Amino acid sequence: MNARPLTAALAAALLLLAGCGSDTEDAAAPEPSKTEHNSADVTFATDMLPHHAQALSMVDLTLGRKLDPEVADLAEQIRNTQVPETETMVDWLNEWGEPVPETSRDHVNADSHGGPETDSDMPGMMSGEEMQALEDAPAAEFEQLFLEMMIEHHEGAIEMAKTELDEGRYIPARELAEGIVSGQQDEIETMESLLG
């Protein structure tokens, strides 16, 4: 049996596989742009809006409660960061002609701490039952439950932001994702220290 045709076939197959590998890498690392966006950018904004909305609903549940000053400061910091981020992402979706998802913070859902996002399988999202448990938590248990849930919620946001950094193209969205990773990681460390 002549080995040359077999060797040539193997070499051709390896070249083909190598070519496929580089295509995959190119698709996973798009060229960043200040003006152009891709589907990963749309997914990031579309999913992060209800994610932020739920975090803000959790922060709303701290209002009127007697809290450790550090926990109260943290809740206010989360609100002050995520409200403008939310407004920015809504603006992007509007500019891109993409639908803006409904959240618990929309007028129609204003009396609900659940909202459409509680049915989501996005990382770090709380169920309607978990949100109700936080709302109903007695004073002695509220802070610990709030911190534990917010840590999990932040970890999910960081995971989503890292996906944007891997796959997104729009530079402002990538910059927002970088801010979420660094800012929410800092907040997780604060919350972990508060839990002791």
Q: Give the Cβ contact number of residue 31 at 10 Å.
A: 8
- The predicted structure's pLDDT at residue 107: 47
- The predicted structure's pLDDT at residue 105: 75
pLDDT tens digits, one per residue of 106-162:
644 444 444 544 556 899 999 999 999 999 999 999 999 999 999 999 999 999 999
Are the beta carbons of 113 and 107 closer than 8 angstroms?
no
Which candidate, 155, 167, 179, places its Cα nearest to that of 55? Answer: 155
- The predicted structure's pLDDT at residue 196: 82
| This prediction's pTM | 0.81
- Residues 6 or more apart from 146 whose CB is under 8 A from it? 58, 61, 62, 71, 75, 134, 137
Low-confidence ranges of the chain (pLDDT < 70): 1-28, 106-120
Which candidate, 157, 163, 169, places its Cα nearest to that of 50? Answer: 157
CATH code of the domain made up of 34-195: 1.20.1260.10
